[in-house]
A and B are shown apart, each in its own frame.
Chain A
Amino acid sequence: MATRLLHGDVTVGDRLPDLSYDVTATTVVLGALASRDWRPMHHDRDFAVHRNGTQDIFLNTPNQAAWFERYVTDWTGPTGRLGRMTFRMNTPVFPGDHMAFSATVTGTAIDDSGCGWVDLDVSLRVGEVVATTCAARVSLPRDTDDNPWSRRGDNWCP
């Protein structure tokens, strides 16, 4: 059974388990097509090199978001519900790159509706370079009877 992290299990300063992955051309193309992004810089190396001036095709933003979601919910389990993500893309991620995800808990809170929130600073690094950062806000159950997914309207304020 998958982990189901509770809000009370988390403390500011906690670090999430690292995740790393070797990017291939298949990673980039599969991610672009899965997100219905047909633009050639994500599947056509000649276009990327000669028209965009990049060294190769590169991961598109929606698929990077999917990687960040997977990284966060690997940690929370299925009861973790994402509320908000803010991305800053610094440098592209290319085939041959070794992606390394890491994250730190920067805040925990209970809002007026009783919803438990955790704030995270997440980084995607390639070598020493921070390629993308993501500030994520995710809701966790406060106890085993709580389910963030059941929240609606005024009880869900991401």
Chain B
Amino acid sequence: MTAPTPDALTPVPEEVTARIGVVQYEEEGGFPVEHGYIWTTCASVQNGNPLFWDEDVAADLTGGPIAPPTMLSVWFRPHHWSPGRSEPAVPLQAHFDLKEDLDLPEAIISSNTNTFHEPVRVGDRVRSRQVLRSVSEPKATRLGHGRFWTIDVEYLNQDDALLGVESYTAFGYQRPEEAEPADPKEDD
């Protein structure tokens, strides 16, 4: 079995085109930003930055305790289980929607850019929303034939201040059955 040629891929449905630039999946994190996770994260990488460990330094530089900028997505990851939910929640749902809508069952995240704006402060209630930015024409790569797409995840605090944006570029594709599996990336 071989992968379809780029021309044979499912055309981009109008409903997908209509989603470009539209805010989707706006939701609030499950808990306020807490100091314990900040320390656990710093401990996991032995980050001794006094900004996260010394109250006086935090007060002097940032007006109080903040989270490391790279923890932006941490405040949004759903609990492994919560009452009334039988299936695990899926982060970046807009990405999984595209895989289904475009009939591209495999996908890798090819690049990821994080931009950091207002600092995330202990006690903040973080909201996120997903915005599809683009879907490419059909492309052929070593993995197979498919399309690139870019999705922004925007994070805001309880005052609607922009905390940061995570921009994911993914390649969704179909591959021949005999092809080697791709290197594992942060997809599924």
Q: Chain A residues in contact with chain B, CB under 8 A?
A: 2, 21, 27, 30-31, 33-38, 41, 52-54, 58, 60-63, 65-70, 73-74, 77-79, 81-92, 147, 149, 152, 156, 158
Contact = CB atoms under 8 A, between A and B. Distances in A.
The SS class assigned to the A binding surface is mixed
Given A2-B50, A65-B70, A66-B68, 15 more contacts: A2-B49, A34-B40, A41-B184, A52-B184, A53-B184, A61-B109, A66-B44, A66-B70, A70-B42, A74-B49, A82-B69, A84-B116, A92-B183, A149-B62, A149-B119
B165 to A, nearest CB: 10
B112 A86 contact: yes
Interface residues of B, number: 41
Q: Which 4 A-B pairs have the closest CB atoms?
A: A36-B77, A70-B47, A65-B70, A78-B51
24 contacts: A27-B44, A31-B44, A31-B45, A33-B40, A35-B71, A63-B45, A66-B71, A67-B45, A68-B70, A69-B45, A73-B47, A81-B69, A81-B116, A84-B114, A85-B113, A85-B114, A86-B111, A86-B112, A86-B113, A87-B114, A92-B183, A147-B61, A152-B118, A158-B115
Given A2-B50, A158-B116, A36 B183 contact: no
B10 to A, nearest CB: 27
Contact of A70 (B45, B111, B185): B45
Contacts of A27: 44
The SS class assigned to the B binding surface is mixed
B25 interface: no
A89 B186 contact: yes
Contacts of B24: none
Contacts of A21: 46
B74 A70 contact: no
Contacts of B183: 90-92
A125 to B, nearest CB: 16
B70 A54 contact: no
Nearest to B73: A62
Nearest to B78: A36
A62 B184 CA distance: 15
Contacts of A149: 61-62, 119
B111 to A, nearest CB: 5
